[in-house]
Structure 1
Amino acid sequence: MPCPFHLALAVDDLAAARAFYGALMGCPEGRSATHWVDFDFFGHQLVVHHTPEAARGPRAHNAVEGDAVPVPHFGVVLPLSQWHALAERLQQKGVDFVIAPHRRFAGTAGEQGTFFLQDPAGNALEFKGFADVEGQLFAQ
């Protein structure tokens, strides 16, 4: 695995963030304090900081193959089988997707599964799935 990233996000409700990242997404909780919580986000360090004054602010969107992709967003790239399992589990739990799971760039070197959702604080997440992550991730 490449070097894990570290990402810190503002959230307005730590309990809701714990329910989303921990219970729903299945991310183990690491260290925590009164105003922040670490999560193992698919091998990466995600820290949510309780920042009640943080406004959700306006979000931009960028058109990608007919989808209005929320910007900014973050996420992970998964092997396609793991992506399908996660998408199915979230669908069974009734998750409200910003962009529902589907295939993008069909028939190209960058063919991928993708879906978007938001955490309770409005942070947008994208999950991508590739049949061959190493061979397809940066293929042109």
Structure 2
Amino acid sequence: MGSVIGSAMKENMKEQIEVQASMQRNMMERQIKLQLMLRDRQVAMQLARGREMFNWYATFALVVSGACIGGFRKTKNPAVFAPLLPISFVTAYQWDMCYNGKMNRIRAGAEKIMADEQDLIGIPAGPPSVRKIDEELRKTI
């Protein structure tokens, strides 16, 4: 009689362990999906912010360009065009970042680093572990 109850308990325990493992896998998959969704939203917000900044900066560059042209007409001195050089570089960079695929080039570069140069992106002193965290907590007590 005892062995029947013991075997039924063992079988029930095995089923419970399998159910728990399945639930943990399901929870982990959901957490990963949530993290990816949050990351996508953050990247979208950063890109939208960059585009908004580009609009403002491009407007500023146009105003400065008009002022430089007006200054040249008045003074006939080509030095008044000097501010246009750095402003045009920054405006072109921002346009490239927001509208011309610089993000794709950055992503491709990051993927290449992750594939070919793993030693450059390691965490100093290794990833934290539960043991290390507990040791740090004990130091503060």
TM-score category of the 2 structures, normalised to the smaller one: under 0.3
More strand by share: 1
TM-score (norm 2): 0.19
TM-score (norm 1): 0.19
More helix by share: 2
Higher RCO (CA < 8 A, seq sep 6+): 1
- The higher radius of gyration belongs to 2
